[in-house]
A and B are shown apart, each in its own frame.
Chain A
């Protein structure tokens, strides 16, 4: 399927470049609808790869790339479940999202996340599956999961560790603070900065450059320099599920979901 228009995501193949757009209001929260459509994308990916050299993932929403996992859905779905069923449900969701993210991470295409605004939690983790992150100067990155008594669960820490120094990873994870695009570029997370509203244009220009190279060579180079940290990804799911049974998590999720103030995304 070369083109798809879904509720949460869409994709199209344009001149050898797949553009995957996120557009689920209010801020591209990743829940069951997005996951289902991402699974459709991954199914289509092997066929798309025949005609494409690059993949660009971007958001069509002004709020940003993605605010992360859909915590409201997670809270509401797990409220009616017994503890063992909750963990089973969460594990199943994580297994599915890991399968999708691993497929994007390991794609033979050169992959680019063009990000702006909030790139938080699961959204940050989606960006980290890509080979390059091109950031609008208004982009902001954060792993806020510790605020909820959790660790990132969509593969974020193993991928961040793969790409950056451990001190930066600890800073982001253990403080839960957000950093802007300049800081992200200075630590090596962002490969290129774009002016406000220009990340997609810069990503398209980069994709056009990537298309000039022999696909097999690019894919071989990528396999060589970007191994998927499988063992750590498995361990992450285990730690996440262990933590998920803690009372602090339910309390953290409840506080987030029931927060009626204007500040739920601030620490």
Chain B
């Protein structure tokens, strides 16, 4: 139960951070959205997102762990696994 609450918290923080920094209204972002499409970002901006997430959560997330990851939910799970 606690793990699930932590996962939800992490996901919410990921969505909030993405919304703030890429200036996309929070209410338009959903867990299973493709963040490349929804945020309109390229790979350099994806690295920027990765750095912001690492700085926010104080984790190290090797970029190869993001290979093939395109949705917020999986991104949050990868972060959760490092917390």
Tell whether A and B belong to one assembly. yes
Residues of A whose CB lies within 8 Å of any CB of B are 27, 63-64, 67, 117-118, 137-140, 142, 175-180, 182-183, 262-267
Residues of B within 8 A of A64 (CB): 44
Residues of B whose CB lies within 8 Å of any CB of A are 36, 41-44, 46-48, 50-52, 54-55, 60, 62-64, 66-67
- Known contacts A176-B64, A177-B64, A265-B43; 13 additional CB pairs below 8 A are A63-B44, A138-B55, A140-B47, A140-B51, A177-B62, A177-B63, A180-B54, A183-B60, A262-B41, A262-B42, A262-B46, A263-B42, A267-B67
User: A-side binding surface: helix, strand, loop or mixed?
Assistant: loop
A22 to chain B, nearest CB (A): 15
Contact status of A175 and B64, CB under 8 A, knowing A262-B42, A263-B43? yes
Residues of A within 8 A of B60 (CB): 179-180, 183
Number of residue pairs A-B, CB distance < 8 angstroms: 59
Assembled-state Cα–Cα distance A177/B51 (Å): 13
Assembled-state Cα–Cα distance A67/B52 (Å): 19
Assembled-state Cα–Cα distance A137/B58 (Å): 12
Q: Return the chain A residue nearest B41 by Cβ.
A: A262
Cross-interface CB contact of B46 among A63, A177, A182, A266, cutoff 8 Å = A266
Docked-complex contact B55 and A182, CB < 8 angstroms = yes
Cross-interface CB contact of B44 among A137, A139, A182, A265, cutoff 8 Å = A265
Residues of B within 8 A of A175 (CB): 62, 64
Q: Which 5 A-B pairs have the closest CB atoms?
A: A265-B43, A177-B62, A263-B43, A267-B64, A262-B42
Residues of B within 8 A of A142 (CB): 63
Docked-complex contact B47 and A265, CB < 8 angstroms = yes
Residues of A within 8 A of B64 (CB): 175-177, 267
Residues of A within 8 A of B44 (CB): 27, 63-64, 67, 117-118, 265
A20 to chain B, nearest CB (A): 22
